Amino acid sequence: MRHWSLIVAVVLLGVRPVTAEPRRILLVGWYGREATPNVVFDETLKNAVQSAAPGTLEYYAEYLEDSRFPGEDQSGILHDFLVRKYAGRPPDVVVAQSQPVLSFLLKYRADLFPNSPIVFNTVTRPVFDDPAVSRNATGVIADNAYRKTLDMALQLHPDTKAVLVIASTPEGNKLNERTFQRQLAGFDKDVTFTHLSDLPLDQLLAGVKKAPKQSIILFVRHSQEEPIGLLLPHDVLSLIERSTNVPIYGPSSTYLGHGSVGGYAFDTQAAANTVTAMALRIANGARPQDVPVTEIASVPRFDSRQLQRWGIGEDRLPPGSVVEFRQPTFWQVYGRYIAIATAIFVVETALLVALLLERAMRRRAEVAWQASITQRERTEAALVATDEALRDSYARVKDLAGRLIAAQEAERKRIARDLHDDLSQKLALLSIDIDQLDRSLREQASDDLSSRLQDISARAGEIASDVHGLSHQLHPSKLEMLGLSVATESFCREVSNQHDLSIAFAATNVPRVVDPNVALCVFRIVQEAVHNVVKHSGARTASVRLVRTDDDLDLQIADSGQGFVPSERERTGLGLVSMRERVHYVGGTLMVHSALGRGTRIDVRIPLRQNAARGAA
């Protein structure tokens, strides 16, 4: 009776009873493990499996990389590998991340996983030739993001006469272009379409270079293996932007920051959440045919810099639009200083008013004619003082950031000098005194005490070395003695030797003598950025480049690490804010380019002539 009660409960709840054999979920991703969609799907599935009851679920991930490693036998190699690996452990659910993966699984279904349900993530609803396979598959699809991006772009550019469509596929089978054509059903606007899909890179760039003025480019996808090595879609998009003078739109958030104005981007995290929920339901006993295919809503996303370039106001964007790469406002950069200066002004004004009231009370005791004259003089004095206080407060706000940075560096220099000239020398003398005492004790054959003194001497020497190093960290003396290029290269070499990080340094046309404020600003930014690479990025390689172009000094720091969302990092950390304050103080600009899984690049440009003139003044 208790056995039948358990079976009835399982049927009613739609779950299976826990057995000794765990249910297995296999993710097959496309292109490579580090591709952004694969990272999102992998993390979401992995977290869900880890949150399940112990011993109930297992998770595996494999990747079809036929576009990264071209060749007719790539699919066959993966086929043979999967057959051998999962021969005795077939998955209970297979997640197909992208249309190429689904096509691969269907092509080799009889050999690979003939009975395993499939949960797919594709742009359009797939069509299955075998009804049995159709009943054993479900998943998520996009919501016509290509067409929505095109309609939105034409609304923002109503004078458009021509649309250049780039919808290539690595296999050259026109799949993306056919998908775009299907989504054009019912399109009735008076524009002409020119398809530049699946062309060699040189022909593609030549085609976009000829784009007429009243045209736009819709970039769905294009990658390239030759002639200059593997180029990912965002790399090709950057080349296209430099080759054309018309706006570019694309249905992917990864295109932002590489030339795309924006587009309706597929919500990868929402798709991963839905696919994970489907896979868990099926792993727990639900039938795929009872889990309906779900359409994932795309989100309009835009690059603020491209909107400004093409004169598009944010009030014209679709509701719910996400705008990235906004430059921080004056208030965001200097708000805290304005608040401090305002508080100082309020206190000074309150004290001034209190003083005037006290004087008024004292003078009221005088005769009427003298009080009248005095009151007029006091009012005039108050107006003059208030005006002076206002001018002084505004001046303080403008100069406060620079003074704080200069005061901080001066204090660092003083502490470093004290450490180096005083404490470091005293520790060195202490180590010498201990050595001399040790030699005296060895002559008296006191071995135990001599050994302890040797240890104390060694520790004193280590402390002296640490103090010496700390003094150089507080104030880079090499910067004053050797110049900006040599000091920066030396710092990069030291970090490379201390950590598992290879830093490539290059300097071009950098003058031997650079304004001290500029040199210190550049050096501090390199320090902060490289330390962030070591602590947060997980990168194995990085680069630091210094180049003088005309009257500017350009600095670029890049790494191959995990990246981050710049807007979120600036809200939660002080590093980027400190960098921007330093650069603003010397009249320069700072740009941060980063995305999850795609590394980070910081670009800084500082005018040399302006700072030289200010130093001379």
Question: What digits encode the pLDDT tens for the residues 253-266?
Answer: 889 999 999 999 98
Are 114 and 241 in the same domain? Answer: no
Task: Read off the pLDDT band of 415 (50, 70, 90).
Answer: low
What is the mean pLDDT of the segment spanning 479-490?
88
Between 617 and 3, whose confidence is greater?
617
Residue 247: per-residue pLDDT: 97
Are 252 and 398 in the same domain? Answer: no
Task: Read off the pLDDT band of 422 (50, 70, 90).
Answer: low
Q: Give the pairing of strands 299-303 and 23-30.
A: unpaired
Question: What digits encode the pLDDT tens for the residues 277-303?
Answer: 999 999 999 999 999 999 999 999 999
3-class SS letters over 418-442 = HHHHHHHHHHHHHHHHHHHHHHHHH
Are 103 and 26 in the same domain? Answer: yes
Q: Is pLDDT above 90 for 166? A: yes
Between 344 and 29, whose confidence is greater?
29
Question: What digits encode the pLDDT tens for the residues 40-55?
Answer: 999 999 999 999 999 9
Between 67 and 85, whose confidence is greater?
85
Which of 327, 394, 399, 357 minimizes the C-alpha distance to 592? 327
Question: Would 278 be classed as within a structural domain?
Answer: no
Task: Read off the pLDDT band of 163 (50, 70, 90).
Answer: very high
Whole-structure pTM value: 0.49
Last residue of a domain, one of 439, 470, 501: 470
Are 314 and 173 in the same domain? Answer: yes
One DSSP character per residue, 142-161 reads E-SHHHHHHHHHHHH-TT--
Assign 57 to helix, strand or coil: strand
Residue 24: per-residue pLDDT: 95
Separation in Å, CA 122 to CA 31, 176, 218, 272 = 14, 11, 20, 12
Q: Which residues contact 145 (CB under 8 A, 6 or more apart)?
A: 123, 251, 263, 264, 265, 266, 298
Q: Is pLDDT above 60 for 472? A: no
Residue 70: per-residue pLDDT: 59
The Cα–Cα gap between 230 and 215 comes to: 29
Question: Would 274 be classed as within a structural domain?
Answer: no
Are 365 and 394 in the same domain? Answer: yes
Residue 34: per-residue pLDDT: 83
Residue 479: per-residue pLDDT: 82
Task: Read off the pLDDT band of 466 (50, 70, 90).
Answer: low
Residue 239: per-residue pLDDT: 93
Q: Which residues contact 539 (CB under 8 A, 6 or more apart)?
A: 501, 533, 559, 560, 561, 562, 599
Are 121 and 172 in the same domain? Answer: no
Residue 31: per-residue pLDDT: 78
What is the mean pLDDT of the segment spanning 302-323?
95
Question: What digits encode the pLDDT tens for the residues 213-248?
Answer: 999 999 998 887 655 556 788 889 999 999 999 999
Residue 558: per-residue pLDDT: 95
Between 514 and 350, whose confidence is greater?
514
Q: Is pLDDT above 60 for 491? A: yes
Q: Is pLDDT above 70 for 377? A: no
Q: Is pLDDT above 70 for 384? A: no
Residue 258: per-residue pLDDT: 93
How many separate domains does the chain show? 4
Give yes or no for a cis peptide into 516 (omega within 30° of 0). Answer: no
C-alpha distance across the termini of the chain, in Å: 97
Which of 96, 92, 105, 104 minimizes the C-alpha distance to 139? 96
CATH number for the domain spanning 587: value is 3.30.565.10
Between 385 and 203, whose confidence is greater?
203
Are 511 and 408 in the same domain? Answer: no
Question: Would 76 be classed as within a structural domain?
Answer: yes
What is the mean pLDDT of the segment spanning 351-366?
66
Sign, CA dihedral 497-498-500-501, equals negative
Question: Would 75 be classed as within a structural domain?
Answer: yes
Q: Is pLDDT above 50 for 5? A: no
Are 372 and 259 in the same domain? Answer: no
Last residue of a domain, one of 122, 140, 158: 140
What is the mean pLDDT of the segment spanning 526-539?
90
Assign 597 to helix, strand or coil: coil
Q: Is pLDDT above 80 for 345? A: no
Residue 11: per-residue pLDDT: 38
Name which of 276-285, 315-324, 349-358 the model is least confident about: 349-358
Last residue of a domain, one of 140, 160, 187: 140
Residue 406: per-residue pLDDT: 63
Name which of 132-136, 162-166, 434-438, 568-572 the model is least confident about: 568-572
Helices (runs of H) and strands (runs of E) counted in the chain: 21, 18
Residue 392: per-residue pLDDT: 67
Are 251 and 344 in the same domain? Answer: no
Report the interhelical angle of 575-585 vs 516-532 (nearest 10°): 160
Task: Read off the pLDDT band of 570 (50, 70, 90).
Answer: low
Between 196 and 36, whose confidence is greater?
196
Residue 328: per-residue pLDDT: 78
Q: Is pLDDT above 90 for 204? A: yes
What is the mean pLDDT of the segment spanning 418-430?
60
Residue 481: per-residue pLDDT: 82
The Cα–Cα gap between 159 and 203 comes to: 27
Residue 285: per-residue pLDDT: 93
Helix ranges restricted to H, 284-367? 304-309, 330-363
Phi, psi (degrees; rounded to nearest 5) at 506: -145, 140
Residue 316: per-residue pLDDT: 96
Question: Would 98 be classed as within a structural domain?
Answer: yes
Are 444 and 488 in the same domain? Answer: no
Question: Would 2 be classed as within a structural domain?
Answer: no
Are 136 and 149 in the same domain? Answer: no
309, two tokens: 């370039």
Question: Would 203 be classed as within a structural domain?
Answer: yes
What is the mean pLDDT of the segment spanning 144-159?
95
The Cα–Cα gap between 389 and 349 comes to: 8
Residue 366: per-residue pLDDT: 54
Residue 175: per-residue pLDDT: 81
Which residue segment(s) compose the domain that 428 sits in? 339-470
Range ranked top by mean pLDDT from 220-229, 413-422, 568-577: 220-229
Assign 553 to helix, strand or coil: strand
Question: Using only C-alpha atoms, what is the Rg of the chain?
Answer: 34
Are 315 and 171 in the same domain? Answer: yes
Q: Is pLDDT above 90 for 35? A: no
| Mean pLDDT (the chain, rounded) | 82
Question: Would 14 be classed as within a structural domain?
Answer: no
CATH number for the domain spanning 226: value is 3.40.50.2300
